[in-house]
Amino acid sequence: MSLTISKGEGLTVITIASNPKSKWPVLCQVLSFLCCSPVCSVSQNMKRKLTNIHTALGTMQIIVGVINIVFGILVRSAGIWNNITELGVAFWIGGVVIVIGIVTLLAAKFPSPFLLVIAVILNVVSAALAITAVVLYSVDLANGNGLYCDTSYYTSYGSASTPSPEQMRNTEICMQYKYLNKMILEGLDIMMIVLSVLQLCVTISFCVLTGKALCKKDEDVKSVENPELHKPLLEDATAGAAC
C-alpha cells in the first residue's frame, strides 16, 4: 500500500491505495497500514528518554494488581463477606490494573506517540481506581469485619436447643481465632491501602514523565522543521563581530 498526501488551501487530502490482490478487506488493510505508519512508529529519540524507570512503573502496577486479586481470594476463602468481597472490588480493580500495567510495559518497550497517549489515558484511569481502592479499603478497615461466630442455637421451630458437643467445639474454635482473624484482616486492609497509594504515585509519575517526553519531542520536531529561524541571528552576530 502507498500513501499520498496532497495539500490545498485549507484542505489536506490523504489517499491510501489498497492492494487488490490482498485477501484482507479494505478496512483491515487501512488499519494495518496506519499501524505501520510514522504515527505508530517507534521513536529512537523517545526510547532514549523513556528509561528503565517506565518498565519498573509498569511492573509495579502488575504486582499491585496481582496482590489485589490474591487479597480477594484470601478473604473469600476465609468465608468473610464484606463490601470488598460482595462487590468483587479486589478482582475487578486487580484485573484492570494488570491490563494497564501490561500496556505501560508495551509503551516503555515500544514508545510510539500513539501508544504513549493510550498509556497515559489508561494510567489516569488507574489513578482513579487507586483512589477508589483507598476509600473502599478504608471503609472496610473502619467497619472491622471479621469472622461471625454463632453462639445461639435454635431448633427448626424457633425454640432454643442444647448445642451438641461438636457445635460447642466449633464455636470455641471460632471464638479462639476470631480476634486473630480480625487482626490479620486489618493488617491486610492497611497493606492494600498502602499499595493503592503506591499505585497512585506510580500512575502520576508515569503521566508526568511521559508528558515531558512528548512535549520535548514536539519541541525537537519544531526545531528540526524550522532550522532557518536561527540563521538571521547568526548573521547579525557575525556582522557585529566584523565591525
pLDDT digits (tens, 9 = 90+) for 184-230: 788 888 998 999 999 999 899 888 888 887 776 555 544 444 444 44
Low-confidence ranges of the chain (pLDDT < 50): 153-158, 221-243
**CA distance linking residue 183 with residue 73, whole number of Å:** 18
Tell me what pLDDT residue 40 has: 52
Q: How far is CA 19 from CA 1, 5, 40, 231, in A?
A: 6, 18, 21, 45
Closest CA relative to residue 86, chosen from 168, 145, 13: 145
Tell me what pLDDT residue 90 has: 85
Tell me what pLDDT residue 231 has: 47
Tell me what pLDDT residue 89 has: 82
**CA distance linking residue 150 with residue 167, whole number of Å:** 10
What's the pTM value of the predicted model, to 2 decimals? 0.65
50 neighbors 111 (Cβ within 8 angstroms) = yes
Tell me what pLDDT residue 74 has: 83
